[in-house]
């Protein structure tokens, strides 16, 4: 029997470029409706670990990725259909500019019929705002459209000028002031700081700021006074979308049944897709979490996953935790697998040269040295062929790694042929039972490859 489509209001919040305020607006809209008792499900378009921290806090629900390449169309369809069955509102935060990347946020919006709300930083424009809105709406025929929100507006008069420049008055979803702040968030704003502050890899994680809810409430309060924020759930029905049920998914084989996988999770290791943990459980693993910063030893486990994060911000504390270093070394010496990605790999190296030029020791389980840089070293989607299967994911890092460990594989970009992996992509190092790379894997793309990295026996 065919499963019926599920209907729910939905918006994809996009922009002409990065840095326009997509995350702030998405979080504000989620917080505004969630604190009125509505069930809000937020997704993030494309690979991202930091924006979802804020979006989850604002909505009160886990945030998953949607990417037509990394997830695949069926996975995106399944997540949207499941969300529509229980949510009152679905929000999808775009990535980069609306038409940037392949696939882009516009591709996702068009594939599933999700109306686009464009957020435009209008701080340095007037009449051109209308041209920007017209171009975003009409550049691609058939793009579902909701309207445009002006961000970082200087005054009521400025907002009037922006609205008057629109070809279609119905596009106007309101204006947000250049600075939004209340309570302790006002201090950051008064110093020119952003409501959602950033560092080299993106937004500061929500759990690092004690006034995080005040910041979200400040954004929600500001949005409440716009035409968009004033809409109740009935008004939002104009953007209701029918999300079809996906075809049946392949059953995930229980390749990790009876095994315990320890996952690092704390301020230094916080780049964890919720779907990755879900995949480990679907593989049959028992998942336990530990903190390399706070715990003296690993929990009892058969395999370890060290995800990415900010080891460079916590290098002294990591090096000082000699008990954890010894426990990890004993685990690896026993031949038990370790999968370390990006920040996880960095922490296993002998030492790191920080951005200020100072050197600091690390755990020394992987021969080599990491050097921080002021500029991006790599960025973009990547795929890894390993264990007879292919994992999809991405790379995004500000450091380089010089290691003498054996390179057993290299990632490649989606558009590259297999021969391109020989000289490019991210190295996958192997040192004993440790596999390590700058590559961030999206586990649902190949549970079998994940099981291989975590020590599952073939067959």
Nearest CA among 454, 170, 421, 187 for reference residue 305: 454
Contacts with 90 (C-beta within 8 Å, 6 or more apart), sequence order: 8, 9, 10, 11, 40, 41, 42, 43, 80, 83, 84, 114, 241
Dihedral over Cα of 272, 8, 110, 132: its sign: negative
387 with 453: CB under 8 angstroms? yes
Taking the C-alpha atoms of residue 109 and residue 27, their distance in angstroms, rounded to an integer, is 19
Nearest CA among 382, 56, 310 for reference residue 64: 56
Which one of the listed residues 8, 342, 349, 401 is annotated catalytic?
A: 342
Please give the structure tokens belonging to residue 23: 């995350």
Q: What secondary structure, in 3-state letters, does 47-60 show? A: CCCCHHHHHHHHHC
Q: For the sheet with 260-264, list strands across it.
A: 286-290, 260-264, 303-306, 338-341, 434-437, 427-431, 406-410
270 catalytic per annotation? no
Active-site positions? 342
């Amino acid at each position: 029997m065919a499963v019926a489509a599920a209907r729910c209001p939905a918006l994809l919040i996009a922009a002409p470029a990065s840095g326009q305020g997509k995350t702030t607006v998405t979080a504000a809209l989620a917080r505004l409706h969630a604190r009125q008792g509505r069930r809000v499900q937020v997704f993030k378009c494309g690979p991202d670990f930091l924006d979802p921290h804020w979006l989850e806090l604002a909505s009160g629900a886990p945030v998953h990725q949607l990417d037509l390449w990394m997830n695949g169309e069926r996975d995106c369809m399944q997540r949207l259909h499941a969300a529509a069955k229980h949510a009152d509102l679905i929000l999808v935060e775009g990535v980069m500019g609306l038409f940037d990347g392949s696939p882009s946020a516009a591709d996702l919006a068009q594939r599933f019929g999700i109306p686009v709300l464009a957020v435009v930083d209008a701080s340095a424009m007037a009449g051109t705002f209308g041209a920007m809105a017209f171009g975003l709406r009409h550049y691609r025929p058939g793009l579902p459209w909701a309207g445009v929100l002006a961000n970082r507006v200087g005054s009521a008069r400025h907002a009037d000028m922006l609205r008057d420049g629109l070809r279609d008055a119905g596009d106007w979803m309101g204006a947000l002031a250049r600075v939004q702040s209340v309570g302790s968030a006002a201090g950051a704003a008064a110093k020119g700081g952003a409501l959602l502050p950033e560092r080299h890899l993106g937004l500061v994680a929500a759990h690092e700021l004690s006034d995080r809810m005040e910041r979200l409430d400040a954004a929600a309060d500001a949005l409440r006074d716009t035409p968009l924020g004033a809409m109740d759930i009935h008004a939002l029905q104009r953007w209701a979308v029918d999300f079809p049920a996906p075809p049946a998914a392949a059953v995930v084989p229980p390749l990790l049944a009876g095994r315990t996988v320890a996952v690092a999770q704390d301020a230094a290791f916080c780049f964890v897709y919720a779907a990755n943990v879900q995949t480990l459980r679907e593989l049959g693993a028992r998942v336990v979490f530990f903190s390399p910063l706070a715990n003296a030893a690993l929990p009892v486990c058969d395999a370890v996953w060290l995800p990415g994060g900010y080891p460079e911000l916590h290098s002294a504390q990591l090096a000082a935790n000699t008990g954890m270093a010894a426990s990890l070394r004993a685990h690896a010496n026993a031949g038990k697998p370790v999968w370390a990605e990006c920040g996880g790999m960095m922490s296993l190296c002998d030492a790191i040269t920080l951005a200020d030029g100072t050197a600091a020791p690390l755990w020394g389980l992987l021969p080599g040295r990491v050097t921080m840089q002021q500029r991006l070293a790599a960025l973009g989607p990547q795929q890894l062929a390993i264990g007879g299967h292919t994992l999809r994911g991405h790379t995004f890092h500000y450091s380089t790694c010089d290691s003498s460990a054996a390179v057993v594989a290299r990632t490649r970009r989606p558009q590259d042929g297999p021969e391109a992996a020989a000289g490019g992509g991210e190295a996958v190092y192997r040192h004993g039972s440790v596999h390590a790379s700058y590559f961030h894997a999206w586990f649902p793309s190949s549970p079998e490859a994940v099981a291989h990295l975590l020590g599952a026996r073939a067959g």
